[in-house]
Amino acid sequence: MLRSLEDTIIRKARLEDYTKAQDNPARSQSEVLESLLEAYEETEAWSEKAGEVRDLESYRLKFKVLRYKEYKSILRNILQGRWNAGLDSAPSYYAASSGTRGPPKLIPVTPRDLSDRIVVSARALALYGLSTSFEYLAGYVLSLHPPSIQGLAGKAESKAPYGHISGMHARLITPALGLKQTPIPEHVDRLGTKIGRKWWVKLYNMVLEEPAGRGVSFTVSSPIPLYMLARYVERRVNKRVSSLFDFRVIFLSGVPDIHMVYKPFLKHYWRKADVVELYGACEGALGVQEWPTPGLKPMYDVYLYEVKAGGKVKPLFMLERGQHGSLIVSTSVLPRYEIGDIIVSLGKGRFRVLGRNTLQGRLKAFIPYKILSYLAP
């Protein structure tokens, strides 16, 4: 059983493509652009421009940098039933952000976009397993997430469920990888859509009841729900949370500063667990840590990466160690989309997310993160 699951994860991760992309990002990014243009040519918004693109330089000239406030006009047309206004196929889902790190977003997820997210998710699991052991896959994954389906968005052929991005991961991606999870998304969805303290208490009570005897061995989560679970277990059952959930590895995403800020207090509760950072957003699964080396690796064979640094826009792979800038990604749904995150290069094809593109985020790029980027192995 474990061997079959390991084979599935490795196959879906497309590690040969990943390795080639890391070895030659320039070539990989040119190939990805060709693939992305095929999707853009099927849309009303970008078909004409896509037909005029010949290379990365002409792509930057024809396609202006897109921000969410500008994308909303296209999204409105999609939601009105004209999915081809900005998509190459009808949406399967709408991923919603929580709004904790900025205004809430709603991003349509097409079958192709979902397939890309599955590849990157499998890659995170495979890279960790190859560096340690795949034994952790033998247990259940603990899923702590808001409802995966909070309602329906759109009209006619554009109608599809919407829910929090982590809920989407649990409902659509985790099963696609063949993983066993608890609690299952359908049970979480029954707790209602009004998210607050009472809702989380209901979820934690469910978590304490459902995993009995199941052998939870890892989790994919934001740090905050894990911390809240640990505190709740201590107060309710007067036990250390690690005695109930003995994680071998914790995959964390959703916030910056995972290793510097969140890892220390999570290791207080799960001393034996490895902590692996992921960079996921409503817009896509954008980075994976090659454990145990710090930093995130871009998915050069899946997305197109640029960065606005020093008043200029250049490919991410040309960002030198210690340099920082605002990240711009192109996915099959979003061309040249400025995420709104500041990143800094750690060298050797790795980067770190510093946070939102605010004064605070930009200041972090200088002290202490600029110094730390030069000290990274």
| pLDDT tier, 210 (very low <50, low <70, confident <90, very high otherwise) | confident
The answer on pLDDT for 46 being more than 90 is yes
The answer on pLDDT for 212 being more than 80 is no
Mean pLDDT of 342-371: 72
CA 110 from centre of chain: 16
Structure confidence by residue, pLDDT tens digits, 291-325: 999 899 999 999 999 999 988 999 999 999 989 99
| pLDDT tier, 371 (very low <50, low <70, confident <90, very high otherwise) | low
The answer on pLDDT for 191 being more than 70 is yes
Report d(CA 187, CA 223) in Å as an integer.
22
Establish if 296 belongs to a structural domain.
yes
Question: Domain with 27 in it: what CATH number?
Answer: 3.40.50.12780
Structure confidence by residue, pLDDT tens digits, 66-107: 999 999 999 999 999 999 999 999 999 999 986 555 567 999
Report d(CA 376, CA 229) in Å as an integer.
32
Q: What is the pLDDT of residue 375?
A: 47
- What 3-state class would DSSP assign to 156? helix
| pLDDT tier, 362 (very low <50, low <70, confident <90, very high otherwise) | low
Establish if 198 belongs to a structural domain.
yes
The answer on pLDDT for 214 being more than 80 is no
The answer on pLDDT for 373 being more than 80 is no
Task: Write 88-93 long-range contacts (CB < 8 A, 24+).
Answer: 88/38, 88/39, 88/40, 88/42, 88/43, 88/112, 88/332, 89/42, 90/157, 90/158, 90/160, 91/154, 91/158, 91/160, 92/160, 92/172, 93/160, 93/161, 93/162, 93/163, 93/168, 93/172
Cα first-last separation, the chain: 37
Structure confidence by residue, pLDDT tens digits, 115-130: 999 999 999 999 999 9
Q: What range defines the domain where residue 200 resides? A: 2-302
Q: Among 136-150, 187-201, 210-224, which stretch is predicted with the lowest mean pLDDT?
A: 210-224
Helix or strand run (H / E) with residue 352 = strand 350-356
Q: What is the pLDDT of residue 49?
A: 97
The answer on pLDDT for 363 being more than 60 is no
Helix or strand run (H / E) with residue 159 = none
Establish if 65 belongs to a structural domain.
yes
Say which residues have a Cβ less than 8 Å from residue 234's Cβ, sequence separation at least 6: 240, 241
Establish if 359 belongs to a structural domain.
no
| pLDDT tier, 20 (very low <50, low <70, confident <90, very high otherwise) | very high
Q: Shortest CA distance to 171 belongs to which of 194, 147, 200?
A: 147
Q: What is the pLDDT of residue 97?
A: 85
Report d(CA 276, CA 125) in Å as an integer.
10
| pLDDT tier, 1 (very low <50, low <70, confident <90, very high otherwise) | confident
Q: Which residues of 45-82 are buried (b: 16+ CB within 10 A; e: fewer)?
A: bbeebbeebeebeebbebbeebebeebeebbebbbeeb
Establish if 337 belongs to a structural domain.
no
The answer on pLDDT for 179 being more than 70 is yes
| pLDDT tier, 376 (very low <50, low <70, confident <90, very high otherwise) | low
Mean pLDDT of 235-260: 91
- How many domains does the chain contain in total? 1
Mean pLDDT of 133-144: 94
CA distance to 96, 112, 238, 247, per residue, from 243 (Å):
34, 40, 11, 10
Establish if 85 belongs to a structural domain.
yes
Report which listed range, 94-108, 146-160, 252-266, is most confident.
146-160
Establish if 330 belongs to a structural domain.
no
Structure confidence by residue, pLDDT tens digits, 338-353: 999 999 999 999 999 9
The answer on pLDDT for 273 being more than 90 is yes
- Percent above pLDDT 90 for the chain: 82
Establish if 25 belongs to a structural domain.
yes
